[in-house]
Structure 1
Amino acid sequence: MRFAVVSDIHGNLPALQAVLDDIAASGADAILNLGDIVSGPLWPCETADHLIPLALPTIRGNHERQVLRPLDGMGASDRHAAERLTPPQRAWLASLPAALRWQQEVLCCHGTPSSDLQYFLETVGADFGERGSRGVRAATHAEVLARAGSAEAAVIVCGHTHMPRICRLDDGRLVVNPGSVGLPAYDDSHPHEHLMETGSPHARYAMLEKGRHGWSAQLRAVAYDWDIAARQAEAHGRGDWADALRTGRVGRREAEAVATARRPG
């Protein structure tokens, strides 16, 4: 059995197309989609229209919940998508489950099995800026084990952090984050200020395979025309996304970019 996992597309249609082409060339029995599909200043409607006919096994992420809420108080990335989505696209997002078990052995979640907001394979600290700290580190084995809880699955696939990572637990369970198809870096302030950076602009996904000795995973990075995506972000006033899309690192921060975009003249 061989399958691909994508996550955190965030409306980046050129990146999604490149990843799907790479998966097709590599061969896979299925493609699983772990959510955060359209939110962002790129191509939300076009991305939804590309995915809906594919009927991939798909779960919702935190941003699917958020784009379907009332606009009041909505963040800029969710608002960009929410203001453009059609009723059929919104109905599709609303129909997605929070978690999914695939082929008995694979559990799909966005954050962790119990939360679409919790980081699974990373831990945020309160040390941002100290000795160059980005405010986040790889989770310890004990932390990952606690977050996995009693979930019965040989493989748990997760997204949310945009960071490609693999962890095999002592009990044999394999936890895999494929990274983000559409956004290789971002800044956040919850629960503390931190930066998530892959360090390159490539679109990410994972390929998993079951062999004689059990499950294995390969993290893949795919080149595409990220400058087109960056220019789309700039056209919608999101210089922070443009910097991340071109470099895989945080340049301008979200708050700065949004405030600049709202400034008259």
Structure 2
Amino acid sequence: MKIAVFSDVHANLPALKSVYAHIEKQQPDAIYCLGDWVNQNIWNNEVVDFMQEHKIPSVLGNHDEGIGNNLSKFPFSYGSREEIDWGMDAIQFTLKQLTEERKAILRALPLNIKLKITTGNNERTLLFAHGTPKSNAERIYRFYKQTELSKMLDDEAADVLFIGNTHASFHKQIERVINGEKTYQHIINPGSVGSPKDGSWHACYAMIEIDTGKDIKYEPDALQVYFYRLDYDIDTVIKGIKNSSLHIYYAVRLLKY
């Protein structure tokens, strides 16, 4: 079984098209998005239309929720006072650009999605969220304590948790011993399509391959994760931002990482 997962498009249509074309070639059984379709780039309407046209299941990102509800202020990441100001300006840009019909589409996205699959003759649960299962504004980083992450999955009765929001890809496999038997949980962040923050501007997504003949809870090699970094027409993106009212910061930061 193959599942493609991507996140944090942030209105970067050229990057999204590159990722989707690559995913199609892999012929996965399913595709999921972890939210943040919009904001901080110029193709807000087009990205919503693309997601709708291709019928990609998605959860609600914090930017999707804020823009969808016409909020002029909502939580987002920043590193300086200037980035707060530029972020607030980007929100206003997106609110004006995005149509009310498309905002309604964003509002309708669920906070999380649960997918039950059979592996090794047992039913296991995959959970898709943007930040954490209960909040799209919180962030899970690779260095979080395993005990905290395990509790998060246990609370949701999930075996695999997919999250985005940090724009940094990772796969964390948690090994535990329960009743004398080793068990495994997985936390997977596919990185960001439209605005990575993990060392490269290239669009990133994850392909998960599950050997359904094995039980992902008890066999560590039953689930494999492959991260892909893809080229796209970044020159068009930078020129598009420069010719818009968005701050040039949103073009420069693509090249920063």
Q: TM-score range by the shorter chain?
A: 0.7 to 0.9
Counterpart Cα distance in 2 of 1:103 and 1:88: 32
Q: Percent identity?
A: 30
State the alpha-carbon separation in 2 of the partners of residues 83 and 239 from structure 1.
18
User: What residue in structure 1 maps to residue 207 of structure 2?
Assistant: 207
Q: Give the equivalent residue in structure 2 for 1:231.
A: 239
What CA deviation, in whole Å up to 9, does each residue of 1:149-208 have, x standing for no partner? Answer: 522222110000000011011241111000000002xxxxxxxxxxxx311110010000
Which consecutive unaligned segments of at least 5 residues does structure 2 have? Answer: 75-87, 118-124, 177-183, 215-220
2:163 and 2:246 mapped to 1: Cα distance? 30
Cα pair distance change 1:244/1:56, threshold 3 Å: same
Q: How far off its partner does 1:143 sit?
A: 4.2
Shift of 1:114: 2.1
2:126 matched to 1:118? Answer: no
Bigger relative contact order (CA 8 A; separation at least 6): 2
**Offset from partner CA, 1:120-165 (integer Å, 9 cap, x none):** 125xxxxxxxxxxxxxxx3333343354452222211000000001
Q: For the Cα contact (< 8 Å) 1:14–1:224, is it kept in 2? A: yes
Q: CA deviation at 1:237?
A: 3.3
CA distance in 2, matches of 1:73, 1:61: 15
- Cα distance in 1 between the residues matched to 2:106 and 2:246: 25
Structure 1 position 89 matched with structure 2 position 97: no
Q: Secondary structure at the match of 1:221?
A: strand
Counterpart in the other structure of 1:139: 144
**SS of the residue aligned with 1:77?**
helix
Q: CA deviation at 1:228?
A: 1.4
TM-score normalised by structure 1 residue count: 0.77
- Indicate whether 1:159 and 2:164 are aligned: yes
For 1:99, the equivalent position in structure 2 comes to: 112
Verify: 1:242 aligned to 2:247, yes or no. no
Give me the TM-score of the superposition, normalised by structure 2.
0.80
Residue range with higher mean Cα deviation, 113-122 or 20-29: 113-122
Q: Partner of 2:30 in structure 1? A: 30
For residue 216 of structure 1, what is the aligned residue in structure 2? 224
Report if aligned partners of 2:18, 2:232 keep a CA contact under 8 Å in 1.
Answer: yes
User: 1:169 is paired with a residue of what secondary structure?
Assistant: strand
Residue 117 of structure 1 aligns to which amino acid in structure 2?
A
Deviation of residue 87 (structure 1)? Answer: 2.5
Give the whole-Å Cα distance in 2 for the aligned partners of 1:142 and 1:20: 35
Q: Is the 8 A contact 2:8 2:193 kept in 1?
A: yes
